[in-house]
A and B are shown apart, each in its own frame.
Chain A
Amino acid sequence: MDNNLLSLFVRSIFIDNMIFAFFLGMCSYLAVSKNVKTAVGLGLAVTFVLVVTLPVNYLLQTKVLAPDAISEGVDLSFLSFILFIAVIAGIVQLVEMVVERYAPALYASLGIFLPLIAVNCAIMGASLFMQQRIEMDPTNTQAIKNVTDALVYALGSGIGWLLAIVGLAAIREKMAYSDVPAPLKGLGITFITVGLMAMAFMCFSGLKI
């Protein structure tokens, strides 16, 4: 594996973690992290949608939206929000149909959250961060230069998200037996837990890769 790809991959899991560094996809993160099994399901679904959408959005950005991409003097970059969200919504619809057909148990347990992946900030956020990184200087290790980079970034971000949600779900399963002050029960203590996990993940920001 190319050294640069590896560093992009590790970076997007640990240092630029979707949850702990950018708070992307918080809503479903908090709502679905009550038990490990559902958390794994949602994490995998998010990873899958990321891996499919980011390369598509990468091609869209470089071949259609970027200045002078379609023809000389045409700059469509202001359309990026609408097109990205349309691609995401379409692909989520597709994934929903596939999961409903082949894994009905998972479909039932994910419930409303599967269609809501479309409005999960993690997917849109990753697309927008990718858009920023395309414009970066190619020597920068964070830059995304081709479809493979986009794919690796998507995979890394997805795995980072999966890791975060499974970790939180495991902690919350154990926490059900602890004696938490009444006003902090549920949401409050979950926020504090995520905050502490985020502090732990800050250690990775010292990594030089």
Chain B
Amino acid sequence: MAKKNKETFLNPIGINNPVTVQVLGICSALAVTAKLEPAIVMGISVTIIVAFANVIISLMRNTIPNRIRIIVQLVVVAALVTVVSEVLKAFAYDVSVQLSVYVGLIITNCILMGRLEAFAMQNGPWESFLDGVGNGLGYAKILVIVGFVRELLGSGTLLGFKVLPQCFYEAGYLNNGLMLMPPMALIILACIIWVQRSRNKDLQEK
């Protein structure tokens, strides 16, 4: 049993990543990653929400009528997102302004509905919690990688600190402004998928 739990937790972080393999939750993964900081905050928020939504739905799974389960799931998720959004506004106002509508859009993040439908409706609370944390972290991992590349190449900073030495700029190096534009998020994600699938042949599509 312990081994199975470990798999539930670790698989989504590595081999069965929600973003690059299950193709869930792409919208926010691309939109908030122009800088590293909002990407990290978004990753943490989603992890917390997936974990707790999974636990709540898993506790209620035997009492939810099948026909209205989507609505019940949406209400649970919307309530959790409201809490997270208010907490962000109170304690991290700047980041919440940067994230703008994408905090609210966690409600419609496919990772949540995907995990609730595929896992929490069939499994107990503890397994669901592990599954939620695992998927949240797998999502956060991709966000952080994309955010890291875009902020480093796009503005030469990381978390707002300058990391590229001044002599680079004096030698004629320029920040790549295109990195901060939406299209590059897609292309960096494509590169991550490329690397992952060339290392793991099972994931390749026919």
Q: Does B2 contact A (CB under 8 A)?
A: no
Interface class of chain A by DSSP: helix
CB of B122 within 8 Å of the partner chain: no
Which residues of chain B are within 8 angstroms of A206 by Cβ–Cβ distance?
none
B residues near A20, Cβ cutoff 8 Å: 182-183
Contact yes or no, A125 B26, CB < 8 A: no
Contact B82 A196 (CB under 8 A): no
Please give the distance in Å from A176's CB to the nearest CB on chain B: 11
- Which listed residue, A23, A125, A202, touches B30 by the CB 8 Å rule? A23
9-residue interface stretch from A36-44, A99-107, A116-124: A116-124
Q: Are B204 and A78 in contact (CB under 8 A)?
A: no
| Selected contact of B25 from candidates A27, A82, A85, CB within 8 Å | A27
Query: Given A132, A185, A202, which contacts B100 in the complex, CB threshold below 8 Å?
Result: A132
Is A120's CB under 8 angstroms from B108's CB?
Answer: yes
CB distance from B88 to the nearest CB of A (A): 13
**Counting chain A CB atoms within 10 Å of each CB, which of B110, B183, B206 scores highest?**
B183
CA distance A195 to B200 in the complex (A): 24
Q: State which of A50-58, A59-67, A140-148, A186-194 sits at the interface with chain B.
A: A186-194
Assess whether B183 is in contact with A185, with CB atoms less than 8 Å apart: no
Asked if B198 is at the interface of the complex by the 8 Å CB criterion, the answer is yes
Q: Are B74 and A118 in contact (CB under 8 A)?
A: yes
Contact string, A194-206, partner B, CB cutoff 8 A, digits 1/0?
A: 1110110010000
| 1/0 contact string of B183-206 vs chain A (CB within 8 Å) | 111110110011101100000111
Q: Number of A interface residues, CB 8 Å?
A: 47
The answer, yes or no, to whether B101 is at the interface (CB within 8 Å) is yes
Interface residues on B, range: 35 or more
Q: Are A27 and B183 in contact (CB under 8 A)?
A: no
When the two chains form their complex, are residues A192 and B190 in contact, meaning their CB atoms are under 8 A apart?
yes
Which B residues are CB-close (under 8 A) to A23? 26-28, 30-31, 182, 185
| Residue in chain A with minimal CB distance to B75 | A82
A31 to B27, CA, bound (A): 13
Contact B70 A191 (CB under 8 A): no
Interface of B is mostly: helix
A-B pairs under 8 A by CB, number: 135
Whether the Cβ atoms of B78 and A81 lie closer than 8 Å is yes
Which residues B105-124 have CB closer than 8 A to chain A? 105, 107-110, 113
Asked whether A191 and B189 contact (CB < 8 A) given A184-B194, A199-B183, A202-B183, the answer is: yes
Given contacts A89-B70, A192-B190, contact A26 B75 (CB under 8 A): no
A182 located at the interface, meaning its Cβ lies under 8 Å from any Cβ of chain B in the complex: yes
Q: Which of A25, A85, A182, A188 contacts B107 (CB 8 A)?
A: A85
Judging by beta carbons under 8 Å apart, are B86 and A78 in contact? yes
- Residue of chain A at shortest CB distance from B205: A186
Chain B 153-185, CB within 8 Å of chain A: the 1/0 string? 000000000000000000000000000011111
4 new A-B pairs (CB below 8 Å) besides A184-B197, A192-B186, A192-B190? A22-B182, A23-B30, A23-B182, A120-B108
Residues of A bordering B, CB below 8 Å: 20-27, 30-31, 78-82, 85-86, 89, 115-116, 118-121, 123-125, 128-129, 132, 181-189, 191-192, 194-196, 198-199, 202
